[in-house]
Amino acid sequence: MIPRTVETEPLSKKTPDRSEASQTALVHDWLTGMRGGEKCLKVLCELLPRADLFTLLHIRGAVDPVIESHAPRSSFLQAFPGVGRYYRYLLPLFPLAAEGFDLTPYPLIVSISHCVAKGVIPGPASRHICYCLTPMRYVWDQYPYYFGRGGPTAAPRILTRLVAHRLRLWDVAASNRVDEFVAISEFVAERIRKYYGREAEVIYPPVEWSQYEAVSSPAKDYYLVVAANAPYKRLDIVLDAFRHLDRPVKIVGHAPAGEAARSRQEGLRNVEWLGWRSDEELRGLYANCRALLFPGIEDFGLVPVEVQASGRPVIAYGMGGALESIRGITVEEARRTDPSAWPEGLTGVFFEVPTGKGLTEAIECFESVEDRFEPASIREWAQRFDRPVFEEHWKRLLLPPSQGARALVVDE
């Protein structure tokens, strides 16, 4: 077979045309809903309209039509009956599923990975770029939140440790199949450096900044939380704080098992569980909240940026990606510094002790200087994460302007 040189088409947003063989494979862990990773994938699907899309598992209709239009190709896990309800328990099978895709025909592979997508096996001449949302958090730094105390009993815990150990070994080995790592934050880039021994460029995730706007009326008297039911989201900190705070808090997301009933039993009428809401409803909740509460250690956090694009401030735990997405002041700094000497353009307050008391102190600090947070200034800060910024970084990465189009070698 004689190799021939062809050129990729310019990146565009036109409707995908499947009439010609694709030059690019997009790989995503699973497609079961539209969260931060899927929002990144949507933009890449539009930038690479001819790309073929691979995923471990796809719940039809669960993601944006742009992603659905790429006709996602699933792994053998898709054949398991009702797998969408329990796929997380199949974690030990995920590496095998990722390695089962035949990607040898693709000169370019772009994986969007927070689990095993980066572990696909590329062809010898393929260029593999991994947009790393995070190293596999369940087996690295977030392991204690998922499987620590309060987790499985003794016998299952030993099995869990063994599985986690094997997954760590696989994860490090799989990282060597990536030619270029791109991280969603400096925080993630540092973890890539620590766990994989690799350097990573940083491209922050995109926010559709123009879809959000600040309302002219004063904020309503409620705090807001938007979080999936996952241990590292630290909803326990919020609930502990609002057991002692006489303030209303609305939580977008599903309550952990029994938590809603427990809240009612304890008389926590200030805690309202909203379940998941549409994008339009979320925009309304963002624009009218007093502030967003962001209590976990996040890899980056699109929700705080979306809230800031709506002109509203954020009260966050001062660790992880929040330090990059929020321009904040710590409670301790606020206490020892005269407000007139604070930096201009602050968008939030950080608490440094991840407890209900720490969050309570941050809320009280915020309320004492609430008028310092100007919606227009907060919204201006969020614009640095606008979608066009993301697109330009990726166009440069995939098609350097100096070349116009990247030459790729394919087999004929």
What are the residue boundaries of the structural domains of the chain, listed by start?
Answer: 3-79+87-206+387-411, 209-385
Q: Is the pLDDT of residue 411 over 70?
A: no
Q: Is the pLDDT of residue 346 over 90?
A: yes
Q: Is the pLDDT of residue 246 over 80?
A: yes
Query: What SS3 string covers 246-296?
Result: CCCEEEEECCCCCHHHHHHHCCCCCEEEEECCCHHHHHHHHHHCCEEEECC
- Region 220-240: mean pLDDT is 90
Q: Is the pLDDT of residue 149 over 70?
A: no
Q: Is the pLDDT of residue 409 over 80?
A: no
The pLDDT score that the predictor gives to residue 262 is 63
The pLDDT score that the predictor gives to residue 148 is 63
Chain mean pLDDT for the chain? 86
Task: Evaluate whether 3-79+87-206+387-411 and 209-385 have a shared fold.
Answer: yes
Q: Is the pLDDT of residue 403 over 60?
A: no
Helix axes 235-242, 356-368, angle to 10 degrees: 70
The pLDDT score that the predictor gives to residue 378 is 96
User: Percent of the chain at pLDDT above 90?
Assistant: 67
User: Percent of the chain at pLDDT above 70?
Assistant: 85
Cβ count near 165 (within 10 Å)? 11
Position with higher pLDDT, 88 vs 185: 185
The pLDDT score that the predictor gives to residue 160 is 80
Q: Is the pLDDT of residue 124 over 60?
A: yes
- Region 36-64: mean pLDDT is 95
Enter the CATH code of domain 3-79+87-206+387-411. 3.40.50
Cβ count near 22 (within 10 Å)? 20
Position with higher pLDDT, 144 vs 34: 34
The pLDDT score that the predictor gives to residue 4 is 32
- Region 57-70: mean pLDDT is 95
Query: What SS3 string covers the chain?
Result: CCEEEEECCCCCCCCCCCCCCCCEEEEECCECCCCHHHHHHHHHHHHCCCCEEEECCECCCCCCHHHHCCCCEECHHHHCCCHHHCHHHHHHHHHHHHHCCCECCCCEEEEEECCCHHHCCECCCCEEEEEECCCCCCCCCCHHHHHCCCCCCHHHHHHHHHHHHHHHHHHHHHHCCCCEEEECCHHHHHHHHHHHCCCEEECCCCECHHHCCCCCCCCCCCEEEECCCCHHHCHHHHHHHHCCCCCCEEEEECCCCCHHHHHHHCCCCCEEEEECCCHHHHHHHHHHCCEEEECCCCCCCHHHHHHHHCCCCEEEECCCCHHHHCCEEEHHHHHHCCHHHCCCCCCEEEECCCCHHHHHHHHHHHHHCHHHCCHHHHHHHHHHHEHHHHHHHHHHHHCCCCCCCCEEEEEC
Query: Cα dihedral sign for 367, 373, 375, 381?
Result: negative
Least Cα distance to 12 among 45, 53, 54 occurs for: 45
The pLDDT score that the predictor gives to residue 255 is 76
Q: What is the identity of the amino acid at 296?
A: G
The pLDDT score that the predictor gives to residue 8 is 35
Q: Is the pLDDT of residue 231 over 90?
A: no
Sheet with 291-294: strands ordered across: 271-275, 249-252, 223-226, 291-294, 314-317, 348-351, 328-330
The pLDDT score that the predictor gives to residue 161 is 83
Least Cα distance to 178 among 165, 188, 192 occurs for: 192
Q: Is the pLDDT of residue 242 over 90?
A: yes
Residues 6+ apart with CB under 8 A from 289: 219, 220, 222, 223, 224, 250, 307, 312
The pLDDT score that the predictor gives to residue 260 is 60
The pLDDT score that the predictor gives to residue 228 is 82
Model confidence at 405, in pLDDT bands (50, 70, 90)? Answer: very low
The pLDDT score that the predictor gives to residue 139 is 83
Alpha-carbon distance of 315 to 48, in angstroms, equals: 36
- Region 185-204: mean pLDDT is 96
**Which CATH number, 3.40.1390.10, 2.160.10.10, 3.30.300.20, 3.40.50.2000, labels domain 209-385?**
3.40.50.2000
Q: Which two tokens stand for residue 39?
A: 């929002």
- Region 46-51: mean pLDDT is 95
Model confidence at 99, in pLDDT bands (50, 70, 90)? Answer: very high
Position with higher pLDDT, 403 vs 237: 237
- Region 180-198: mean pLDDT is 97
Model confidence at 266, in pLDDT bands (50, 70, 90)? Answer: low
Q: Which two tokens stand for residue 33?
A: 């809903």
Q: Is the pLDDT of residue 19 over 70?
A: no
Question: What is the b/e burial string over 246-275, where b = at least 16 CB atoms within 10 angstroms of the residue's CB?
Answer: eebbbbbbebeeebbeebeeeebebbebbe
Q: Is the pLDDT of residue 234 over 60?
A: yes
Bridge partners for 249 per DSSP: 223, 271
Model confidence at 10, in pLDDT bands (50, 70, 90)? Answer: very low
Per-residue model confidence as pLDDT tens digits over 268-308: 789 999 998 999 999 999 999 999 999 999 999 899 999 99
Burial of 186 (0-12, 13-18, 19+ CB in 10 A): middle
